[in-house]
């Protein structure tokens, strides 16, 4: 055999062995990718979704409600908007809902309204939202705060550019890479009973004693039979035009809906 043919034969055997050795590894990788595929999230088609908005106008609740409605309608959901918390007292309407999206910063919720909301979520209606419209609503109401997973207490430094770091391999964040955003960096009092999907790390520029603190940016939890999702971004609803933020928001809605 000529020496060039010998080298070709050796190269062929080496390649064949390499392909054989790699085959099982590749198929297991495909299985892993499929298990965290965002398509695994349930469809929102024909789901009944209530968007409740209002409260402090600085968070543009109506704009957030319109944006959420557009995103949900694009998924085939039946969307109802309400500017009144009294809808939480309407047990018939609430029992028909699959998901409640709330954007209602600060303000007050009365006893009958919170009772209606808590009952619906405990019975399995999903509950989701963003930023102050969800995790800074009704500051004097601990029944509400018991559901949400975290409560806003400060945004040191105001508007900042910062990194959002994706954690784990939850279907909500599947395929989303770490990204940079410019908004308020929410400092939250956090319920230990949450699953953290994304975090941000504080530096010492505004308050030196929080340097290095790692804070949830997106999370899930359950409350009774209900699924709860929140993303802390969104001081300006236009932030959800950024593909990563939009994908987490829409996937969070899908995950939370029953």
Footprint on this chain of Zn ion (rule: CB under 5 A): 132, 184, 235
**CA dist., res. 217 & res. 170, Å (int):** 14
Cβ contacts of residue 110 below 8 Å, gap of 6+?
A: 85
Q: Minimum Å distance from CB 236 to Zn ion?
A: 8
Residue among 132, 141, 150, 170 at smallest CA distance from 256: 170
The answer to whether the CB of 217 falls within 8 A of the CB of 172 is: no
Cβ distance to Zn ion smaller for residue 64 or 223: 64
Cβ contacts of residue 154 below 8 Å, gap of 6+?
A: 187
Cβ distance to Zn ion smaller for residue 47 or 131: 131
CA distances to 43, 53, 57 from 60, in Å: 28, 9, 5
Q: Minimum Å distance from CB 58 to Zn ion?
A: 7
Q: Minimum Å distance from CB 185 to Zn ion?
A: 10
Cβ distance to Zn ion smaller for residue 62 or 195: 62
The angle that helices 61-73 and 243-256 make with each other, rounded to 10 degrees, is: 70
Cβ distance to Zn ion smaller for residue 132 or 252: 132
Structure tokens at 111: 């006893």
Check residue 171 and report its DSSP letter: T
Q: Minimum Å distance from CB 144 to Zn ion?
A: 18
Q: Minimum Å distance from CB 26 to Zn ion?
A: 46
Q: Minimum Å distance from CB 170 to Zn ion?
A: 25
**CA dist., res. 73 & res. 39, Å (int):** 18
Check residue 83 and report its DSSP letter: S
Cβ distance to Zn ion smaller for residue 41 or 63: 63
Cβ distance to Zn ion smaller for residue 130 or 228: 130
**CA dist., res. 186 & res. 204, Å (int):** 15
């Amino acid at each position: 055999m000529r020496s060039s043919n010998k080298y070709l034969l050796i190269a062929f055997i080496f390649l064949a062995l390499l392909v054989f050795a790699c085959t099982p590894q590749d198929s297991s990788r495909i299985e892993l990718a499929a298990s965290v595929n965002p398509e695994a999230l349930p469809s929102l088609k024909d789901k009944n979704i209530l968007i409740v908005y209002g409260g402090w106008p600085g968070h543009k609740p109506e704009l957030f409600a319109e944006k959420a409605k557009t995103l949900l309608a694009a998924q085939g959901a039946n969307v109802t908007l309400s500017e009144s918390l009294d809808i939480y007292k309407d047990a018939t309407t609430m029992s028909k809902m699959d998901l409640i999206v709330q954007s209602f910063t600060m303000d007050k919720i009365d006893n009958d309204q919170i009772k209606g909301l808590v009952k619906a979520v405990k019975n399995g209606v999903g509950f989701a939202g963003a930023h102050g419209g969800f995790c800074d609503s009704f500051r004097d109401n601990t029944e509400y705060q018991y559901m949400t997973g975290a409560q806003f207490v400060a945004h040191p430094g105001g508007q900042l550019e910062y990194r959002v770091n994706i954690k784990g391999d939850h279907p909500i964040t599947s395929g989303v890479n770490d990204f940079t955003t410019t908004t308020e960096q929410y400092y939250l009092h956090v319920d230990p009973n949450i699953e953290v999907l994304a975090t941000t790390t504080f530096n010492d520029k505004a308050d030196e004693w929080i340097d290095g603190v790692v804070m949830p940016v997106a999370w899930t939890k359950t409350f009774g039979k209900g699924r709860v999702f929140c993303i802390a971004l969104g001081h300006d609803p236009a932030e959800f035009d950024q593909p990563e933020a939009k994908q987490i928001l829409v996937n969070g809605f899908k995950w939370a809906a029953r």
